[in-house]
Amino acid sequence: MNDIIRKIEAEQLKENVPQFNVGDTVKVYGKIKEGNRERIQVFEGTVLKKQGGSTRETFTVRKFSNGVGVEKTWPLHSPNVEKVEVIRRGKVRRAKLNYLRNRVGKRAKVKELVK
C-alpha cells in the first residue's frame, strides 16, 4: 500500500521547487479563479513556517495589508502556486516564527542575512 501512495505522490511533485527558509521575504504568485477566468495574484510577505514533507509540504506567509495582519498557507507542490520568488533572506534562529503575530511595525521585522 505504501509503495502505491509513494508512486502517486512522486508523480505530483514539482521539479523546480524554489529554495527558501523560514524568515525569508517571498513573493508567491498564486492562481485565482474568478468565474471562467483565471489570473495570477502576488502575495508578498515573511515566511512564518514550513511544515510537512513530500507532496504535503506547506508554507505560511504573513504580510500587513491596511494595518491588518494577513496569513496565507499554500501547499508547495500545488498547481495553484505558479512560482515563489525570494526577495530577501532572513536571519532567524527558530523554525516557527509565531511570535511575529503579536508584533506590529518595526518590531515585526526580521533581520536580513548577509553572506
C-alpha dihedral, 38 to 72 to 16 to 9, nearest 10° = -90
Here the cell at position 51 is: 511544515
The C-alpha cell at 30 is 498564486
Low-confidence winner among 3-7, 9-13, 20-24, 47-51 (lowest mean pLDDT): 9-13
CB 23 within 8 A of CB 91: yes
Strands (E), the chain: 25-34, 37-51, 58-65, 68-75, 81-88
Give me 92's grid cell.
Answer: 532567524
**Residue-wise pLDDT tens digits, 19-75:** 999 999 999 999 999 999 999 999 999 999 999 877 889 999 999 999 889 999 999
